[in-house]
């Protein structure tokens, strides 16, 4: 009977030690790349959120009418005031109406421009790509001031139109703001969609053309389904931006009395903090952030469920 073979475990041990050492190196590399982002994310995102939540749980108390003010823990009393505040909820309803019209129009134009840039039929693509994107390079405040002058009957070079149509009236000012937002952000969303189009293999187009498909059919049956994740991404960004609308209505307050201090949720927060009532403004901000999260997450789950079918 032969003696049992003795298997050396040294190579296995050395391999395990090498893998462990490599893992340590990788962890250090990961930390090197993640730490700067994590630090900035914590300082400028998590800490402000925590501070806002902490301030929203405080109330101001005074000893008598002219007594010294002091902050004490008030529980959810600020949130009770938020849910009782009619102008705040009307401002949310207003921006949701705004988004229901403006976001599809903006993304539709962005998709159309991206498809045109990706089409072999278009000439001068570099010029049009720059022309579509240039409005996004204009700061939102400057764009709002520029369009405010264009809408003004006495200042606009299109006075024949602005003297007959009051773009700053209570009925039209919301859609005048929508026009400004659309003009600014179409190019930004177009670049996201166009970048997704460039990642599609050209072999798919060649196969479709061999089957007799034209450019419209290729766009509808191949391009749009494949770039749907990019469209969903731009839609989520747009939903978040809609609920955070501030710069344009704030500027338009100088041009129109129809834009009040509670015209949008962020204007409500801004005007409340200017009283000043920082604790109530913090409660408004927390509720608005939660509403934005719920709406964005619901839209994401809805689109994911439709794609899964």
Q: According to the model, what pLDDT value does residue 16 have?
A: 53
Q: Domain limits of the chain? A: 79-308
b/e per residue 204-232 (b: at least 16 CB within 10 A): ebeebeeeebebeebbeebbeeebeebbb
Residue 135: partners with Cβ closer than 8 Å, 6 or more residues away: 143, 183, 184, 186, 187
Judge whether residue 242 has pLDDT over 70. Answer: yes
Which CATH superfamily hosts domain 79-308?
MetI-like (1.10.3720.10)
- The mean predicted confidence, pLDDT, of the chain is 87
Least confident of 4-18, 154-168, 187-201, 239-253: 4-18
Q: According to the model, what pLDDT value does residue 212 have?
A: 87
């Amino acid at each position: 009977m032969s003696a049992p073979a003795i298997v050396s475990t040294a190579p296995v041990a050395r391999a395990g030690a090498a893998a462990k050492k490599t893992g340590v190196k990788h962890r250090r590399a990961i930390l090197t790349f993640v730490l700067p982002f994590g630090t900035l994310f914590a300082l400028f995102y998590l800490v402000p959120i925590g501070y806002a939540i902490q301030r929203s749980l405080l109330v101001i108390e005074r000893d008598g009418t002219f007594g010294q003010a002091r902050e004490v823990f008030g529980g959810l009393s600020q949130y009770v005031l938020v849910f009782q505040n009619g102008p705040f909820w009307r401002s949310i309803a207003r921006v949701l109406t705004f988004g229901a019209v403006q976001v599809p129009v903006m993304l539709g134009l962005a998709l159309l421009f991206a498809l045109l840039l990706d089409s072999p039929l278009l000439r001068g693509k570099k010029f049009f790509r720059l022309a579509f994107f240039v409005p996004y390079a204009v700061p939102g405040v400057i764009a709002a001031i520029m369009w405010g002058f264009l809408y003004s009957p006495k200042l606009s070079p299109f006075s024949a139109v602005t003297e007959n149509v009051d773009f700053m009236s209570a009925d039209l000012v919301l859609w005048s703001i929508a026009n400004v937002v659309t003009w600014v952000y179409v190019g930004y969303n177009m670049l996201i969609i166009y970048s997704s189009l460039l990642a599609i293999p050209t072999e798919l187009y060649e196969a479709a053309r061999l089957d007799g498909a034209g450019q419209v059919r290729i766009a509808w049956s191949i391009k749009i389904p494949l770039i749907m994740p990019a469209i969903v991404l731009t839609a989520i960004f747009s939903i978040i931006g809609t609920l955070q609308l501030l710069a344009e209505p704030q500027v338009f307050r100088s041009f129109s009395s129809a834009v009040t201090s509670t015209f949008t949720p962020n204007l409500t927060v801004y005007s409340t903090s200017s009283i000043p009532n920082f604790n109530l403004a913090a409660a408004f901000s927390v509720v608005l952030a939660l509403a934005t999260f719920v709406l964005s997450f619901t839209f994401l789950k809805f689109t994911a469920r439709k794609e899964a079918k």
